[in-house]
Structure 1
Amino acid sequence: MRGSSSNITRAGAAVLALVLLLLASCAQIPRSGPVGKSTDASAGNPNAPVFFPAAPREGAGPESVIEDFYSAGSGYEDDYAVARQYLTQASSVTWKPDQRALVFRSARVVPTGVENVFDYELDLAYSVDADGVATRLPEGTKENIPATLAQVDGQWRIAAIPDGTAIPEETFKVIYGAYPIYFYDPTFTYAVPDLRWFIKKKTVKAMTSALLGGPAAYLKGAVVSAFPSGIKLARESVPVVSGAAQVDLTAKDLVDASNEDRLRMQTQLALTFRSQPDVINVELRANQDLVRVEDNGTVRRPVRNMSVPAHQIAVSHNELVRYENNRLSPLPDIAPVAALSPRAPAESPVSQSAAFLNPGRDTLYSVVPGQPARVLTTRAAVSRPSFDRYDWTWTAGPGGDGATEVLAYRPVGVAQGSSVPAVTLTPTWLAGWTVKEFRMSREGARALVISEQNGKTRVQVTGIIRTADGTPRDLTAPMTLPTSRDPDQGAWVDDTTVAVMKGSAAESVTPELLSLASAQPQQLAPWPGLTALSAGNGPEEIFGQSAEGVFQRLGNGWSPQLKGLQDPSFPG
């Protein structure tokens, strides 16, 4: 039996076998002459790496055949033609490599005790399903893939193997890429990215199939699609002809749709194909016949990567202030709150409402123009407030029985002394966890959640399920982002990136950028005594606060800004 070290060597050899086929010059999209079609295999990045695996070796034993089969599984060209040579004729026909990809840190072949049956034992880093949804897995996660072998003309071949491939993590990072496919928020106003992992050279068809399949689990119920449930590709390819991606759909679903729905379908595909250099526009087809889509101005293009206002709310001399261009000014039309000693303020991105905590962080207040501040909730501890674009104020804290609750309030338009609309959510995945941070995304379909249990911290993104009028109804089971530290606060930087850190007045603090599209956190420059973090539009608009004042990220360091203010935060 070969040990882990030999298999790691094989994995390294597999990586060395990856060859970049670079075009001599950038291909120009033809504007005249014969029509040229790209097949599904080439509809993607033409410069993507290609892996050339080795064919079966004469006289190789069962263990070597299993190892070499999975090494060959990185060679996706010609429908995994080389990998299929390691299978019996029957299994080569039935094996479906695109069903999932298991990405491993190390692997070894283990006998099962059953004649000619072995396990390929993996230490998994990721699991990627047929629609490109990647699940990151902690170190030590094991999975055994059973393989049954038989002799064919004196050579060992695999007679039974589960669908899918298994590839080393190093190889995965080279031949796969993370790409956003886009859905809509429930009002069709905003485009919401759903990051998927695809082989770089086979993206166009893979993206289309994933889009038709619907959003990832953590977004189901929080976003919508213009494509009706059950709609499918009419043919197993999405050719790109003279820059036009020809998406051929089942005729009835497409023809029965309104022009408005078809325009939204076309827009959704166009947003999804933004990353594809050979795609200029999208054609909808029904059984290969072009379907006319008219843009008569009735459908607005959704906002992608929504920005926030350039100013921040902050506390100065116990009053709420506006911080912009390194200057302070009064918060417009807001009553004085100095008697309440506000901390951790938030400002609505759609109105002039604000919310804040008291110094003990056990009471949440809101203040709307023309009214004094009012108490929204008091409990043992609450997370700093965050507004969504529906003007709901969010926080989290323990309920009466100690269970973690996520709370949302909407005081805008409520007369002084009247009850404020409120929603209390108790997601099971937060049971036993203390929420340190709950921050709404700019389009209102997602939230960043940082929670802690017995010293262990996790950073997650959950979807927000709402009723038709935008009232929060539930949170989806979240996706987890990798972090190398134990952050206790965070903020959205853009629609696919968050900044997090663990604040400390006494130590040097290293914030991190976590991307929905990356496996590795990006560490920012350390800075002593950072206790608060805020983020505006993009990674250059990240601010930190220490006892020495406010600092803005500048390249690989931090630039001093104003002194004498606390807890700056961009609207949201």
Structure 2
Amino acid sequence: MSGARKLTSLAAALLALVLLLLTSCAQIPRSGPVGKSNDESAGKPNNAPVFFPVAPRAGAGPESVIEDFYLAGSGYEDDYAVARQYLTQASSVKWKPDQRVLVFRSARVVATAVENVFNYELDLAYSVDADGIATQLPEGSKESIPATLTKVDGEWRIADIPDGTAIPEETFKVIYGAYPIYFYDPTFSYAVPDMRWFIKKKTVKSMTSALLGGPAPYLKGAVVSAFPSGMKLARESVPVVSGAAQVDLSAKDLVDASNEDRLRMQTQLALTFRSQPDVINVELRANQDLVRVEDNGSVLPPVRDKEVPAHQIAVSNNDLVRYENNKLGPLPGIASVSALAPRLPAESPVSQAAAFLSADRSTLYSIVPGQPARALTTRTGLSGPSFGRYDWVWAAGPGGSGSTEVLAYRPTGVAEGATVPAVRLTPSWLAGRHVTEFRISREGTRALVISELNGKTRVQVTGIIRNGDGTPRDLTAPVTLLAATDPDQGVWVNDTTVAVMKGSANGNVTPELLSLTSSAPQQLAPWAGLTRLSAGNGPAEIFGQSSDGIFQRLGNGWSQQVKGAIDPAFPG
């Protein structure tokens, strides 16, 4: 065995020992008595671990120093004091561990052609930036971290290393947790989660800083914040005193804000801290002085995790029907469309409008009460329709010159024969790709997009940028969710989770739950011949369709609900 391999084995053994001793090393956080300040206590679980990394060993070679330095990155106490012992004095002062976390499946130290310069080669699982935004990476994703070493008093020390830490995936999941911070839709009616990863023992401060920093890139322009750009914390902590999180902000910005804006700030923080058991309420402060916020009823709290109605739209006997309480009935107020052979219908969550595709998926139709169905567009290979805010119905299909177009139409309130307002978007990240699914989130600020190119699919979530009147204007560069298979369809399950699958009329199909936390996919029970998915409010309300009828997820299996209907879909 080579020297590098021996050192890697030793590092793995040390990591195993740390994990084995985790229960004995974990410390219950101290909660201060009532009326006493307990900085960063909020959200600190009783089993929040404290790692005690190994200090530099006398006579260790450069490979061991690099491996032990990164293993010491699990010890975040006292500003990574142990990890800094592996650095030269100048490098220790310069190194910023909180700029990035590289989470690896495996790692090894490799010498380079340059004397005393080594690469720490990683098979990456995640990359987490300074704001807690995680990027999930597929197996085989590689990154090399260069490290330059020198001798200090006869011992090898790291003279130059990039900012950030690199820790094993198992350790990362113990030290860090995924938490939502919340922004508003542009009307301040809905709360939109933005999932971030933070060290469990530093959550309240990290959440506050991330909130002030603004939304993740895929949400920029689609959501808004009550906090003006540039607002900062006045001190580098967010103490929790008698259950109150004391958020001390830059005085001028806070004092100049209206009471309505302050109330929205306070509400945004309260939503963000709702995962933290030690936080009961939020206090806004300016240079440590309490700033009063009057709740006079002028600001309504935003809706979080908006629910959909309990009924579904479906197709039975070649016509649109309502599916509710395991019964099929007519779709209220809508004329028969059996002559058009409807498929993949959608129903508006805010009106009685509906939309559907022709049997060959070449024509998108809409229908509103009192009017016949009207064709909105004709093109090959359209995705099924989905309704969003302001009664816009969305689909995607091929455009000209190889482009892929995302289409939005607003058929409600339009007289028969009049032109339906329409928007065509051509996001560059969809160029050349075939969109098999385009689903608007319940609060209307995001869309689930599943697209295919050369047999490989991407599951992505994009933000919807609108004009002031709600008209769609653009889509943001998306975030990608990793699935275990190549799904061709998906639905929103709640505000942070989607269900996806690759339908098959013949073989077993295993749907998956994908989370915006960037955690691993959760596989649901397989079922033979599932061809369509729908979802209501939460993982318990997931439905699948096969040739035998419509089934509902029940525990680790599926329970048949009704026969004679196809293509069920909850409003949206």
TM class, shorter-chain normalised?
over 0.9
Output the CA distance in 2 between the equivalents of 1:112 and 1:524.
46
**Residue 395 of structure 1 aligns with which residue?**
395
**Residue 11 of structure 2 aligns with which residue?**
10
> What secondary structure is seen at the aligned counterpart in 2 of 1:124?
strand
Q: Does 1:454 align with 2:454?
A: yes
Output the CA distance in 2 between the equivalents of 1:506 and 1:355.
28
Could you say if the C-alpha distance between residues 158 and 27 of structure 1 is closer, same or farther in structure 2, counting changes exceeding 3 Å? closer
Write out aligned runs for 1:362-381 (5 A): 362-381=362-381
**Residue 87 of structure 2 aligns with which residue?**
87
Could you say if the C-alpha distance between residues 155 and 242 of structure 1 is closer, same or farther in structure 2, counting changes exceeding 3 Å? same
Deviation for aligned residue 1:42: 7.3
Write out aligned runs for 1:417-428 (5 A): 417-428=417-428
Deviation for aligned residue 1:116: 2.0
Could you say if the C-alpha distance between residues 359 and 72 of structure 1 is closer, same or farther in structure 2, counting changes exceeding 3 Å? same
**Residue 328 of structure 2 aligns with which residue?**
328
Deviation for aligned residue 1:28: 7.3
Output the CA distance in 2 between the equivalents of 1:150 and 1:508.
58
Deviation for aligned residue 1:304: 0.3
Per-residue CA deviations over 1:30-54 (Å, capped at 9, x if unaligned) read: 55xxx22122477633431111100
**Residue 209 of structure 1 aligns with which residue?**
209
Checking the alignment, whether the CA contact within 8 Å between 2:346 and 2:385 is kept in structure 1 is yes
Deviation for aligned residue 1:400: 3.1
Could you say if the C-alpha distance between residues 521 and 5 of structure 1 is closer, same or farther in structure 2, counting changes exceeding 3 Å? farther
**Residue 550 of structure 1 aligns with which residue?**
550
Q: Does 1:310 align with 2:276?
A: no
Q: Does 1:107 align with 2:107?
A: yes
Write out aligned runs for 1:266-305 (5 A): 266-305=266-305
Q: Does 1:148 align with 2:170?
A: no
Could you say if the C-alpha distance between residues 80 and 37 of structure 1 is closer, same or farther in structure 2, counting changes exceeding 3 Å? same
Checking the alignment, whether the CA contact within 8 Å between 2:135 and 2:518 is kept in structure 1 is no
**Residue 350 of structure 1 aligns with which residue?**
350
Output the CA distance in 1 between the equivalents of 2:3 and 2:127.
24
> What secondary structure is seen at the aligned counterpart in 2 of 1:73?
helix
> What secondary structure is seen at the aligned counterpart in 1 of 2:562?
coil
The TM-score, its normalising length taken from structure 1, stands at 0.97
Checking the alignment, whether the CA contact within 8 Å between 2:48 and 2:200 is kept in structure 1 is yes
**Residue 238 of structure 2 aligns with which residue?**
238
Output the CA distance in 1 between the equivalents of 2:551 and 2:344.
17
Per-residue CA deviations over 1:209-240 (Å, capped at 9, x if unaligned) read: 11100000110100000000001111111111
- Greater CA drift, 365-374 or 139-148: 139-148
Q: How many residues align?
A: 568
Which residue identity does 1:105 align to in structure 2? R
Output the CA distance in 1 between the equivalents of 2:481 and 2:122.
22
Checking the alignment, whether the CA contact within 8 Å between 2:4 and 2:110 is kept in structure 1 is no
Which residue identity does 2:107 align to in structure 1? A
Output the CA distance in 1 between the equivalents of 2:429 and 2:10.
40
Deviation for aligned residue 1:2: 4.7
> What secondary structure is seen at the aligned counterpart in 1 of 2:444?
coil
Could you say if the C-alpha distance between residues 291 and 108 of structure 1 is closer, same or farther in structure 2, counting changes exceeding 3 Å? same
> What secondary structure is seen at the aligned counterpart in 1 of 2:201?
coil
Output the CA distance in 2 between the equivalents of 1:144 and 1:451.
31
Checking the alignment, whether the CA contact within 8 Å between 1:530 and 1:544 is kept in structure 2 is yes
Checking the alignment, whether the CA contact within 8 Å between 1:183 and 1:225 is kept in structure 2 is yes
Output the CA distance in 2 between the equivalents of 1:12 and 1:320.
62
Output the CA distance in 1 between the equivalents of 2:381 and 2:125.
36
Which consecutive aligned stretches of 4+ in structure 1 deviate over 4 angstroms post-superposition?
Answer: 1-6, 21-24, 26-31
Output the CA distance in 1 between the equivalents of 2:251 and 2:150.
45
Output the CA distance in 2 between the equivalents of 1:296 and 1:57.
63
Write out aligned runs for 1:56-71 (5 A): 56-71=56-71
Could you say if the C-alpha distance between residues 263 and 49 of structure 1 is closer, same or farther in structure 2, counting changes exceeding 3 Å? same
Deviation for aligned residue 1:402: 3.3
Checking the alignment, whether the CA contact within 8 Å between 1:8 and 1:106 is kept in structure 2 is no
Output the CA distance in 1 between the equivalents of 2:263 and 2:196.
24
Per-residue CA deviations over 1:505-551 (Å, capped at 9, x if unaligned) read: 11111111111124211111111111111000010100001110110
Checking the alignment, whether the CA contact within 8 Å between 2:4 and 2:63 is kept in structure 1 is no
Output the CA distance in 2 between the equivalents of 1:111 and 1:362.
58
Deviation for aligned residue 1:15: 4.5
Write out aligned runs for 1:532-551 (5 A): 532-551=532-551
Output the CA distance in 2 between the equivalents of 1:290 and 1:339.
67
Checking the alignment, whether the CA contact within 8 Å between 1:2 and 1:108 is kept in structure 2 is no
**Residue 76 of structure 1 aligns with which residue?**
76
> What secondary structure is seen at the aligned counterpart in 2 of 1:255?
helix
**Residue 126 of structure 2 aligns with which residue?**
126
Could you say if the C-alpha distance between residues 486 and 282 of structure 1 is closer, same or farther in structure 2, counting changes exceeding 3 Å? same
Checking the alignment, whether the CA contact within 8 Å between 1:2 and 1:109 is kept in structure 2 is no
Checking the alignment, whether the CA contact within 8 Å between 1:15 and 1:171 is kept in structure 2 is no
Which residue identity does 2:15 align to in structure 1? A
Output the CA distance in 1 between the equivalents of 2:297 and 2:518.
37
Which residue identity does 2:497 align to in structure 1? T
Output the CA distance in 1 between the equivalents of 2:42 and 2:299.
33
Could you say if the C-alpha distance between residues 554 and 42 of structure 1 is closer, same or farther in structure 2, counting changes exceeding 3 Å? closer
The TM-score, its normalising length taken from structure 2, stands at 0.97
> What secondary structure is seen at the aligned counterpart in 2 of 1:92?
helix
Deviation for aligned residue 1:4: 5.9
Output the CA distance in 1 between the equivalents of 2:247 and 2:179.
18
Output the CA distance in 2 between the equivalents of 1:490 and 1:150.
53
Q: Does 1:508 align with 2:508?
A: yes
Which residue identity does 1:241 align to in structure 2? V
Deviation for aligned residue 1:27: 7.6
Q: Which runs of 5+ in 1 are unaligned?
A: none
Per-residue CA deviations over 1:544-567 (Å, capped at 9, x if unaligned) read: 011101100001100111100110
Cα RMSD (Å) of the superposition? 1.6
Output the CA distance in 1 between the equivalents of 2:264 and 2:464.
22
**Residue 254 of structure 2 aligns with which residue?**
254
**Residue 168 of structure 2 aligns with which residue?**
168
Output the CA distance in 1 between the equivalents of 2:46 and 2:251.
31
Q: Does 1:531 align with 2:525?
A: no
Checking the alignment, whether the CA contact within 8 Å between 1:75 and 1:83 is kept in structure 2 is yes
Checking the alignment, whether the CA contact within 8 Å between 2:42 and 2:278 is kept in structure 1 is no
- Greater CA drift, 88-97 or 253-262: 88-97
Output the CA distance in 2 between the equivalents of 1:243 and 1:513.
35
> What secondary structure is seen at the aligned counterpart in 1 of 2:400?
coil
Which residue identity does 2:453 align to in structure 1? Q
Q: Does 1:468 align with 2:458?
A: no
Deviation for aligned residue 1:440: 0.3
> What secondary structure is seen at the aligned counterpart in 1 of 2:283?
strand
Checking the alignment, whether the CA contact within 8 Å between 1:314 and 1:322 is kept in structure 2 is yes
Output the CA distance in 1 between the equivalents of 2:6 and 2:387.
52
- Greater CA drift, 2-11 or 75-84: 2-11
Which residue identity does 2:504 align to in structure 1? S
Output the CA distance in 2 between the equivalents of 1:37 and 1:209.
20
Checking the alignment, whether the CA contact within 8 Å between 2:361 and 2:381 is kept in structure 1 is yes
Checking the alignment, whether the CA contact within 8 Å between 1:15 and 1:170 is kept in structure 2 is no
Which residue identity does 2:450 align to in structure 1? I
Checking the alignment, whether the CA contact within 8 Å between 1:4 and 1:107 is kept in structure 2 is no
Could you say if the C-alpha distance between residues 4 and 449 of structure 1 is closer, same or farther in structure 2, counting changes exceeding 3 Å? farther
Output the CA distance in 1 between the equivalents of 2:4 and 2:297.
64
Checking the alignment, whether the CA contact within 8 Å between 1:11 and 1:168 is kept in structure 2 is no
Per-residue CA deviations over 1:270-297 (Å, capped at 9, x if unaligned) read: 1011111111111111111111111110
Output the CA distance in 1 between the equivalents of 2:43 and 2:355.
49
Which residue identity does 2:330 align to in structure 1? P
Q: Which runs of 5+ in 2 are unaligned?
A: none
Deviation for aligned residue 1:162: 1.3
Which residue identity does 1:539 align to in structure 2? P
Deviation for aligned residue 1:96: 1.0
